[in-house]
Chains A and B, each alone.
Chain A
Amino acid sequence: MEILSRGHGELLAWHDPDEQRQWIAQNKMRSLEDKRMTVAEAVSKFVPDGSYLASGGFGHVRVGMAAIYEIVRQKKSNLTMAGKTAVHDIDILVAAGCVDKVEVAYSFGHELRGLSPASRRAVEQGKVKVAGEISNAGFQWRFKAAAMGIPFIPTRVMLGSDTHAYSSAISVRDPFSGKPVCLVPACYPDVAVIHVHRCDKYGNAQIDGIVVEDLELARAARRLIITTERIVSGERIRKEPWRTSIPFFLVDAVIHVAYGCHPGNMPCLYYFDEDHMAEWLRLSRTNEGVSQYLENYVFGVDDFKGYLKRIGGAKKLKHLRDLERLRAKFRAPWAEVK
């Protein structure tokens, strides 16, 4: 195929498809094993320094915050993060100094709440390197190519833009239509963390609501940590196998963490904790504020249970459940302060 243009962004987390098949054959177990462990064990085992990390869900929706905090607690470093639809997950990791390189589709922003003070500052001061740009669909389709076991997948996005120029995509002339198409390379994160609604001890996981990119990400990631609101029996999974979003043989660790997405939104269960988000956005305007926040909510607690007490305990959690069910009045403290 005629190559029309090459993006000059860094090609990250790509493997030759045969190399990847060998890795899968040797490293992913097909036996039914009890994979339950603590979040501390999972992060210690599966998130080495220097990894390319991806977070499932959508930045602050159905994200594995318990694992994110543990990465900070264990002071992991030199991580590269997939800034796929990254919001609070990446903001914490960049501010804490764990992530120093990002491939950006959407990062450094907190959606409606505004720009993320800490991670923006880190990029503008040169502390974090942006390795390349891409679009949301581009990143989603990088995972899709990986999930299909193919080296790239053709798309019609990014053509003609600087996003393409700064990406690792390559445009070619499609031999069928004669028109240019944009090839995005497969992306195999070293490790992904995905938070789900239900999972059995073997790793069979069910997700309620939108799956976002997780059906593909679960296959693309070499190591997969699942944090789950509830552990269910294997029989419960087998009763309705069409509800399985992620099969056990892709999973390396299963961790039971109720409310494990706080302060994010866990669809069908609890909404965002906007007071907590406002506190983070306010404190993270300065490095001292970041340290204060991390001391209070990460280093100053032994585990996630301790964290949940700090953020307001049972009373707060009930309020977040009510918000999700539209039974409580929504407030946006960060909008009021603006």
Chain B
Amino acid sequence: MAVAAARTLEDNRAVLVGTGLPIIAAMLAQKTHAPNLLIIFEAGGIGPRVPLLPVSVGDSRTFHRAVMATSMDYAMSIAQMGCIEYGFLGAAQIDCYGNINTTVIGEYDRPKARLPGSGGGNDAGSLCWKTIVLMQHDRRRFVQRLDFLTTPGYLSGPGKREETGLPAGTGPYRVVTQLAVMGFDDETKRMNILSLHPGVSVQDVKSNTGFDLLIPTTPKTTEIPTKRELQILRKVDPVRVVLR
């Protein structure tokens, strides 16, 4: 997953990263095909040379040898200004338009599970040009209808983001799971399969998705991680906090 996620990031772009897998993917991208990837942390770390996995998106590793150590106001403002191409998000639930839930599972007032809330998720999903969601793929998570719409994807379809006032031309770009890499159909803005990971069938993905995924006639196969990518990942997360 980390490798597939890293490969979605182009060089010479900026990415707003969150805890865990997103940072690892960004660090991997920076150490492989995107050496000039500008990593930005919402708490104010801009362009750090991250030495090892930070525990917090606001800890000292997030501005280690950075070009600038500033404020959340600054980081979020530059996202709002249009400076940040990618936003990396996690999610507890996602629907076919890439809307995501990180707030509650179940009823809002007496939830089955109270999750941490939006955090910087809604901000990244609203302001970055392209959002990339990293999450586990199963029926509990890929749902027909979210329990709570924390962060907007394409809302209810084409044109809806712009109608609500969200910045024009922004929206979900990729969803990376342990089964596949997904994108969004240009016309309908609905989630589609771009590539299946090796050994994963279309049926595997369908049976783990609670909505109708758009499936191409011949889905590609995700390229396997290279030895070098794996080596780098072991360096970046040496105590295996995130990588299994």
Contacts and interface: CB of A to CB of B under 8 A. Distances in A.
Given A115-B115, A135-B118, A179 B126 contact: no
Interface stretch (A17-25, A68-76, A299-307, A329-337): A329-337
Nearest to B58: A58
A270 B222 CA distance: 42
A137 B124 CA distance: 9
A156 B126 contact: yes
Interface in B97-155: 103, 108, 110-123, 126-127, 148-152, 155
A87 interface: yes
B58 A210 contact: yes
A216 interface: yes
A265 B56 contact: yes
Nearest to B103: A133
Interface in A100-156: 104-109, 111-113, 115, 120, 123-124, 126, 130, 133-138, 140-141, 144, 155-156
A106 B123 CA distance: 12
A335 B56 contact: no
Contacts of B221: none
A284 interface: no
A83 B118 CA distance: 11
Interface string B48-83: 000111111111101100000111110010011000
Interface stretch (B2-10, B37-45, B174-182): B37-45
Contacts of A83: 117
B71 A181 contact: no
Contacts of A336: 239
Interface in A36-62: 57-61
Nearest to A211: B71
Nearest to B62: A210
A20 B42 CA distance: 29
B164 interface: yes
B58 A85 contact: yes
A133 B78 CA distance: 23
A271 B52 CA distance: 13
B241 A335 contact: yes
Nearest to A270: B60
A157 B165 contact: no
Contacts of B164: 159-160, 180
Contact of A156 (B113, B165, B239): B165
Interface of B: 19-20, 42-45, 51-60, 62-63, 69-73, 76, 79-80, 103, 108, 110-123, 126-127, 148-152, 155, 160-161, 164-167, 238-242
Given A108-B116, A112-B19, A272-B55, 16 more contacts: A85-B72, A108-B115, A109-B119, A112-B242, A130-B114, A138-B123, A140-B71, A141-B73, A144-B73, A157-B126, A160-B164, A162-B103, A211-B71, A267-B59, A332-B239, A335-B241
